[in-house]
Amino acid sequence: MARTRRAHAAAPAWLTIWALLPLLLIALPLCYVAIRASQAGLAGVAQELLRERTLMLLLNTVALAVGVTLTASMIGLAVAWCVERSDLPLRRFWRVAAGLPLAVPAFVSSYAWSSIAVGFQSLPGALLVLSLSTYPLVYLPVAAALRSADPAFEDVSRSLGHGPTHTFLHALLPQLIPALGGGSLLVLTHMFSEFGALALLRVQTFTTAIFESYELQFDSATAAVQSIVLMALCIPAAYGEMRVRGHRRIARMGRGAARMVPSVRLGKARLLVLLAFGGLGLLSLGVPLATLGYWLAHGRSLGQGYEEIWPAIRGSIGYATSGAVLASILAMPLVLLSIRYRNRFSSLAERLPYIVHGLPGVVVALALVFLSIRAAPALYQTSIVLLCAYAILFLPLAQSSLRASIELISPQLEQIARSLGRSPFRVFMSVVLPNIAPGIGAALALMMLEIFRELTATLMLAPTGVTTLATQVWSYTFDAEYAAAAPFATLLVLISSVPVWVFTRRMLQYGGQP
């Protein structure tokens, strides 16, 4: 009862005020779209929406997002099942190797493939490259779900005389739906917000069109209307991801059968499956890494930009660190409110960042440019605006990391501290903060990795003269100077590979099967 009363108690004023800061920041992109739409008027919005180019952008965006999501989901599900449930040779190796394409940012893969042949600079080429880059987002959660799935359901199905296909579809697949749906929705939101890879592959979608409108006409009404359409596509997908995130696990009585599930014999298909795994590894990792190696050793632009490597590293580290710290600070009150003081305000505060999370960096950057010029001109082209963009884009990531740590702290510890006469703020500083320090560290590391790879907002908002590894890759590749881009792309892959390797191993070890 004490916990229930605590959950419905009024939040301290300092915590509510603290929570208003990220909410006001998150509301900026929504305000921007509303303001620009009202300035364009209904006639202007309708005229832009009915243009033939807008229809083309809509078809390209939806076709690419749906195509990549379906392809990545099928690959991820198939790979996860083969690794976890079949007698595939070298299973331990493939279990980790299948997740390593995450170490190569999508725009780096696009740089590699586009430098091989112009034919990859097309919608089919983008479908191939992005499917290879994103399938681990489905594979990892599905593989983890397979390792923790209760085999009793499959035993019952087989005991009733059902075959392997019926057992998979009706006994195993329902247990995988939360993980499969969550991974698929994550791929979908990534595709709606993808810019760098599509710009390098010369595929026109709403994100590339909005960026071009900004570059050519600077904050044009066209970009604003295109942002409205993109928001309409992104918000349902992001909301669906948030809903699935909250229902990942399927309830069951007890812990299930504590035994190893027998591996399915592949028989004559064993060699074919092994060749398919080799081909997948070659296309998703081999081609990008081999291309990087080639351009590091050859090319007319080789040696250009070496003097910019250290400034780019310094810029990447500086912004990644500052952005991660800011996002963690802003996420803290939202998580505390949602766990300790559950009410309508705390529910809105928790969910709003996830809904806006589906927006691409180009829309967030455009909103901050528009509002900073009109409300605070002194802030335009400063690092403050860029850090605000990082906070908006990566706030949900900080929330997820911090929530896992705060939920482990018993409310009774805080109640004991309060009974000793300490104020809520002193309780937070002396009890809560020290106990969630490991969670804060994990959140910072994960966000720093993501900010290292962020491209769109950095391109649009970074102060003049400031560069990062990601912007240098894009700049040289866009000018077809592939050898000059190679050192920056290689550093990005090296920086990403270590945390991706550790994350993949830890995620797949959770579940029980060796």
Handedness of CA 15, 21, 24, 26 (dihedral sign): negative
Task: Say which DSSP state 299 is in.
Answer: -
Per-residue tokens: 280: 């997948």
Amino acid 217: pLDDT: 60
Report helix, strand or coil for 141: helix
Report helix, strand or coil for 469: helix
Q: Alpha-carbon distance 209 to 186, whole Å?
A: 22
The residue to which tokens 């195993």 are assigned: 172
Per-residue tokens: 255: 């812990």
Amino acid 358: pLDDT: 63
Q: What is the set of domains in the chain, with CATH numbers?
A: 1-28+305-480 (1.10.3720.10), 51-249+272-303+496-514 (1.10.3720.10)
Return phi, psi of residue 320, to 5°: -65, -45
CB 362 within 8 A of CB 206: no
Q: Alpha-carbon distance 355 to 357, whole Å?
A: 5
Q: Alpha-carbon distance 416 to 126, whole Å?
A: 57
Amino acid 4: pLDDT: 43
Half-sphere exposure of 394 (CA within 13 A, CB side): 33
Amino acid 196: pLDDT: 85
Give the pLDDT means over successive 10-residue stretches in the chain (514 positions): 50 84 87 77 75 88 94 93 85 86 89 87 93 91 78 68 67 77 84 87 88 68 77 76 55 46 76 91 92 80 70 90 91 84 79 72 85 85 91 85 72 74 74 73 78 87 88 84 86 84 65 38
CB 413 within 8 A of CB 8: no
CB 332 within 8 A of CB 439: no
pTM score, two decimals?
0.80
Please enumerate, as own/partner, the contacts of 275-281 that have beta carbons within 8 Å and a separation of 24 or more: 277/79, 277/82, 277/88, 277/94, 277/98, 280/75, 280/79, 280/98, 280/132, 281/97, 281/98
DSSP H/E element including 188:
helix 173-193
Length of the chain measured in residues: 514
Q: Kindly report the three-state secondary structure assignment for every residue of 247-264.
A: CCCCCCCCCCCCCCCCCE
